[in-house]
Amino acid sequence: MKSINKQLVDLKGKVVWMASYPKSGNTWFRCFLSALLTGKIDINRINTDGIFSSRHLFDGVTDIDSRLLDEEEAKLRMGNVYRFHLQYSSKLEFTKVHDAYSFDRNGNPIFPTDISHHVIYLVRNPLDVVASFANHSNTTKDHSIQLMNKKNGYLVKQKNGLNINNQLPQLMYDWSGHVLSWLDQTVIPVTILRYEDTKKDAVANFQRVMQSIGIKVSRKKVKEAVELAEFDKLRSMEEAGGFREKVATVKNFFRSGKSGGYRDELTINQVDKILEQHHRVMTRLEYHVPTFSV
Amino acid sequence: MTFKYNIYGLRVGSRFKLGVYPQSSFKGTADVLIKKAKISRPEEGLERTVYKPYSVYNTDLYFLDVMGIAKYLVKGDNEVLLEKYPEANWQDVFAFLFDSIFTVILVKNNIFVFHASAVSFGKKSFMFCGTAGIGKSTLAASLAANKGAKIIEDDKCLVQYNKKTGKFQIKNQYPFIELWKPQLGFVKKIKGLVPKSRIRKNIQKFRIDIQEHRPKRAINLDQIILLNMSNMEDTIQYTEIKGIQKVNVVKNYSHMHHVVPALGKNKEHFMAISKIVQGIPVHSINKSRLTKLEDFIRYIEEEVI
Q: How far is B164 from chain A (nearest CA, A)?
A: 37
Q: Which residues of chain A make contact with B54, given a CB cutoff of 8 A?
A: 62-64, 77, 80
B288 CB neighbours in chain A (<8 A) are 248
A55 CB neighbours in chain B (<8 A) are: 132-133
**CATH no. for residue A137?**
3.40.50.300
Contact B55 A63 (CB under 8 A): yes
| Mutation target vs A (from B115, B134, B203, B263; most A CBs, 10 A cutoff) | B203
Rounded to an integer, what distance in angstroms lies between the CA atom of residue B213 and that of residue B8? 18
- A291 in a structural domain: no
- Least CB–CB distance from A162: residue in B54, B68, B182: B182
By C-alpha distance, which of A83, A105, A146, A188 is closest to A274? A146
User: What pLDDT band is residue A129 in, cutting at 50, 70 and 90?
Assistant: very high
Task: Say if residue B180 is exposed, middle or buried (CB neighbours under 10 Å; 0-12, 13-18, 19+).
Answer: buried
Q: Which residue out of A43, A57, A67, A68 would a mutagenesis test of the B interface target, given it has the greatest number of B Cβ atoms within 10 Å?
A: A68
User: What CA–CA distance (Å, rounded) separates A198 from A209?
Assistant: 11
Chain A residues closer than 8 Å to B95 by CB: 68
**What is the reported pLDDT for A162?**
82
Question: What secondary structure, in 3-state letters, does chain A show?
Answer: CCCHHHHHHHCCCCEEEEEECCCCCHHHHHHHHHHHHHCCCCHHHCCCCCECCEHHHHHHHHCCCHHHCCHHHHHHHHHHHHHHHHHCCCCCEEEEECCCCCECCCCCECCCHHHEEEEEEEECCHHHHHHHHHHHCCCCHHHHHHHHCCCCCEECCCHHHCCCCCECCEECCCHHHHHHHHHCCCCCCEEEEEHHHHHHCHHHHHHHHHHHCCCCCCHHHHHHHHHHCCHHHHHHHHHHHCCCCCCCCCCCCCCCCCCCCHHHHCCHHHHHHHHHHHHHHHHHCCCCCCCCCC
Q: Is B182 an 8 Å CB contact of chain A?
A: yes
Cβ contacts of A245 on chain B, cutoff 8 Å? 231
Q: Decide if B293 touches A, using CB distance below 8 A.
A: no
Question: Does residue A285 have a pLDDT over 90?
Answer: yes
Residue B132 to chain A, least CA–CA distance (Å): 7
Q: What is the pLDDT of residues B221-249, one digit of tens each?
A: 999 999 988 766 667 888 999 999 999 99
Report the gap between the CA of A160 and the closest CA in chain B (Å).
7
Chains A, B: CB contacts within 8 A come to 94
User: In Å, how far are A128, A270, B91 from A276, measured between CA atoms?
Assistant: 15, 10, 47
Please give, rounded to a whole number of angstroms, the shortest distance from the CA of B184 to a CA of chain A: 11
DSSP B277: H
pLDDT of residue B259: 96
Q: Which of B81, B75, B99, B117 is nearest to B203 (CA)?
A: B99
Note down pLDDT in tens along chain B; length 305 residues.
Answer: 899 999 999 999 999 999 999 999 999 999 999 999 999 999 999 999 999 999 999 999 999 999 999 999 999 999 999 999 999 999 999 999 999 999 999 999 999 999 999 999 988 999 999 987 788 888 898 899 888 999 999 899 999 999 898 899 999 999 999 888 888 888 888 988 888 889 998 899 999 999 999 999 999 999 999 998 876 666 788 899 999 999 999 999 999 999 999 999 999 999 999 999 998 999 999 887 767 777 888 888 888 88
Q: How close A289 comes to chain B (CA, Å)?
A: 37
> Is A62 within 8 Å of B182 when comparing Cβ atoms?
no
pLDDT digits (tens, 9 = 90+) for B138-157: 889 889 988 899 999 989 99
Nearest-Cα residue of chain A relative to residue B103: A63
CA closest to A246 among chain B residues: B231
Cβ distance A63 to B100 less than 8 Å, yes or no, reads yes
How far, CA to CA in Å, does B239 sit from each of B9, B117, B228, B268, B286? 33, 19, 11, 27, 8
Where residue A252 falls among pLDDT bands split at 50, 70, 90? low
ipTM over 0.85? The verdict is: yes
What three-state secondary structure class fits B122? coil
B contact residues 240-279, partner A, Cβ 8 Å cutoff: 256, 258-259
| Domains of chain A: total | 1
- Domain edges within chain B: 3-108, 114-304
Q: How far is B110 from chain A (nearest CA, A)?
A: 19
State the average pLDDT over residues A254-269. Answer: 82
Chain A partners within 8 Å of B68 (Cβ): 73
The answer to whether the CB atoms of B53 and A246 lie below 8 A apart is no
**What is the reported pLDDT for A250?**
58
DSSP structure class, residue B254: B
From the centroid of its chain, how far is CA B195?
Answer: 19
Q: Does the pLDDT of residue A294 top 50, yes or no?
A: no
Mean pLDDT along residues A145-163: 90
**Bridge partner list, B230:** B288
Interface residues on A facing B, Cβ-Cβ cutoff 8 A: 55-56, 59-65, 67-70, 73, 76-77, 80-81, 83-84, 159-166, 242-249
Q: How far is CA A98 from CA A20, A54, B213, in A?
A: 5, 11, 44
Supply the CATH classification number for the domain B114-304: 3.40.50
Instruction: Specify the pTM.
Output: 0.91
Q: Which residues fall within 8 angstroms of residue A231, CB to CB, at 6 or more apart? A: A28, A254, A257
pLDDT (0 to 100) of residue B303: 81
Are B231 and A76 within 8 A, CB to CB?
Answer: no
Instruction: Kindly tell me the number of DSSP H helices and DSSP E strands found in chain B.
Output: 7, 20
For residue A230, the enclosing domain spans 4-284
CA-to-CA dists, residue B264 to A67, B59, B62, B72, B80, angstroms: 28, 5, 12, 19, 18
**H-run or E-run covering B108:** helix B102-108
CB nearest A70 (choices: B66, B203, B234): B203
Asked, for residue A274, whether it belongs to a domain, the answer is: yes
Q: Which residues of A touch B115 (CB under 8 A)?
A: none
